[in-house]
Amino acid sequence: MWINGGWLKTAKTIERTSPAHGAPLARFAEGGEGEVGAAVAAARAAFDNRSIWSGIPGSERAKAITRWLELIVRDTDRLATIEAEEVGKPIRFAKGETEWAIELGRYAAALAYQIPGDLVNNIGDANLGLVSREPRGVIGMITPWNFPLVTLFQKLPFALAAGCTVVIKPSELTAGTTLEVAALAREAGIPDGVINVVTGSGRTVGEALTGHPGVDMISFTGSTVVGKRIAQRCAEQMKRVGLELGGKAANIVFADADIDSAIDGIAFGYILNQGEECVQGTRLLIEESIADDFIRQLVERSRKIRIGLPDDEQADVGALIHEQHMEKVLGYIRTGVEQGAKLEIGGERLTGDGLGKGYFVAPTIFSGVTPEMTIFREEIFGPVLAVTTFKTVEEAIRLANDTNYGLGNGVWTKDIDKAIQVSRELKSGTVYVNTFLETSVQMPFGGFKDSGLGRENGMDGLLEFTEVKSTFIKLGKRGYALPHTV
Ligand code: NDP
């Protein structure tokens, strides 16, 4: 663990097994309530001492964050290797994600220069109003295993830029890169106590962090079930909360779409990160008149997807996070078959070509899926696509919105009027038109409905880590005379 600028060991440890090789990979300290208490105390002290972080000029925080990012750039290969091995994902994706995390950090650092405020000057001559943004305080960050660095960097540099201090609880499965970047912060001169990491399980460390009265906000990425529990617990203490939760994105493909790019986007959208992705395009809604041909081409495209070990530079898809999760995904596939969907491709565990010791599932497509089926409704978090047809625009919108989730949706058509009108009616935080899983540091990211609360990235992402303060200033009677001018 990393607390107050130093390593902390515990007698109890957590073993991590490689999802791709099935062999022991890492051992992490197993923290508990005591370690959470120590980390929160360190973060609180660092926050309350305004002269070291929360009260210094934003430009100074920006410079410190930038020095830290330079060290992360230096260590990109090492971080990407850890990430690829821990998650089981192909190395080229882990590298790309590390670079993306750095880009998020650079953007957040720049925002530290320009945290907005307002001056209200029309509330009477005897009054002046200041509307200022203050750092929220100590932030508890709880992150998942699917994109350990990216999910962290959608939070951490933004909170730091705002002037907050943090205690992070990474997933017990993938704590490696979080610990590494925390230690690099010290090398970069970020004061001790500003970033702390407590490793351990959600049941102990996560619960202790959520319930700790010294934490001002919890920023969480993970499942909707845990997100709802965290929201309830935070409500008891009126603790602020940001939740980035699950999804069940639909891609709507109209007959007038550019079919080649739609095939590419949909194939990419359902297999990225082995389908362990909250905005995964797990439902394909396709206009009936083109459905048969489109599915045939998509199946052909899926045959070319390369599944491989983390060090396979050409691999598109890696291993699922652990055996239990693989069994859950295979269970959803069995349910799809039992409920009458047609299995077009995949559907099984892959064990050939050196994959036998890992948890690999073949890219899987079901057609003939109806809205009552489990694979249409639930977040599977594996490389499984459910295909449903529609006849009218209204039916497409109704099907896309027929879910408790609302993170992302895609629309594919060459008719710009239709694209914009459909986008307006989709109940999700992001809509992609003729593209999918596009991302930008400037664009806010977050969900409607069960997909979460609040936004990450963009200026909105930074403002989540601030509180608004209104200051009324009463001005005295004008007690001076204007100088006479001749
Ligand atoms: P969880 O939501 O359980 O885990 C996410 C993080 O929350 C982990 O760090 C976990 O700790 C922690 N956590 C678990 N329980 C609590 C708690 N009671 N209080 C505070 N923190 C807690 O997701 P899983 O990893 O178990 O994955 C289950 C399913 O969630 C997936 O199959 C997928 O459907 C969805 N999911 C969605 C993600 C997204 O990006 N939206 C990301 C990950 C999962 P730990 O695991 O270390 O015990």
Are residues 410 and 436 in contact, defined by beta-carbon separation less than 8 angstroms? yes
CB-based contacts of 395: which residues, under 8 Å, 6+ apart? Answer: none
Closest-lying ligand 1 atom to the alpha carbon of residue 225: 2
Which of 256, 255, 253, 257 is closest to 269 using CA atoms? 253
> Which amino acid is it at 101?
A
Look over the chain and give the mean of its residue pLDDT values, rounded to a whole number: 97
Q: Which residues are CB-contacts of 238 (< 8 A; sequence separation ≥ 6)? A: none
What are the beta bridge partners of residue 355? none
Sign of the Cα torsion 161, 164, 167, 170 reads: negative
Q: Is the CB of 451 under 6 A from ligand 1?
A: no
- Is residue 451 helix, strand or coil? helix
CA 320, 433, 401, 382: dihedral to nearest 10 degrees?
Answer: -10
- For helices 58-74 and 176-187, the axis angle rounded to 10 degrees is 120
Instruction: Please give the number of the atom of ligand 1 that sits closest to the Cα of 277.
Output: 40
Contact 325, 145 (CB under 8 A): no
| Burial of 123: CB neighbours in 10 Å, binned 0-12, 13-18, 19+ | exposed
Decide: 242 in ligand 1 pocket, CB within 6 A. Answer: no
pLDDT of 401: 98
- Rounded to an integer, what distance in angstroms lies between the CA atom of residue 365 and that of residue 344? 5
- Report whether pLDDT(146) > 60: yes
Give the span between the Cα atoms of 385 and 266, in whole angstroms: 9
pLDDT of residue 477: 77
Give the DSSP letter of residue 197.
E
pLDDT at 480: 67
- Ligand 1 pocket mutation, candidates 16, 36, 149, 171, criterion most atoms within 8 A of CB: 171
Q: Coil, strand, or helix at residue 149? A: helix
Q: Which pLDDT score, from 0 to 100, does residue 485 have? A: 62
Candidate of 142, 168, 177, 215 to mutate for ligand 1, largest count of ligand atoms within 8 Å of Cβ: 142
Element (H or E) spanning 160, and its range? helix 156-162
Instruction: Give the three-state DSSP class for 173.
Output: coil
Question: Where residue 248 falls among pLDDT bands split at 50, 70, 90?
Answer: very high
With tokens 């515990």, the residue in question is 10
Question: Which residue among 226, 272, 326 has the greatest number of ligand 1 atoms within 8 angstroms of its CB, and so is best to mutate?
Answer: 226
Q: Is the pTM of this model over 0.95?
A: yes
Residues tagged active-site: 244, 278
Residue nearest to atom 9 of ligand 1 (CA): 171
- Of 419, 458, 355, give the one whose Cα is nearest residue 104: 458
pLDDT at 476 over 90: no
Residue 268: CB atoms within 10 Å: 16
pLDDT attached to residue 137: 98
The angle formed by the CA atoms of residues 320, 321 and 322, to the nearest 5 degrees, is 100
Contacts (Cβ under 8 Å, ≥6 apart) of 362: 307, 345, 346, 347, 348, 349, 350, 383
> Residue 478 above 90 pLDDT?
no
| Digit-coded pLDDT (tens) for 32-83 | 999 999 999 999 999 999 999 999 999 999 999 999 999 999 999 999 999 9
Cβ burial, residue 149 (10 Å; 0-12/13-18/19+): buried
State pLDDT tens for residues 266-277: 999 999 999 999
In this prediction, residues 332-337 reach a mean pLDDT of: 98
Nearest CA to ligand 1 atom 27: 223
Choose among 205, 165, 194: nearest CA to 4.
194
Q: Is 381 in the pocket of ligand 1 (CB under 6 A)?
A: yes
Ligand 1 pocket, 222 CB below 6 A? yes
Ligand 1 pocket residue status of 88, Cβ below 6 Å:
no
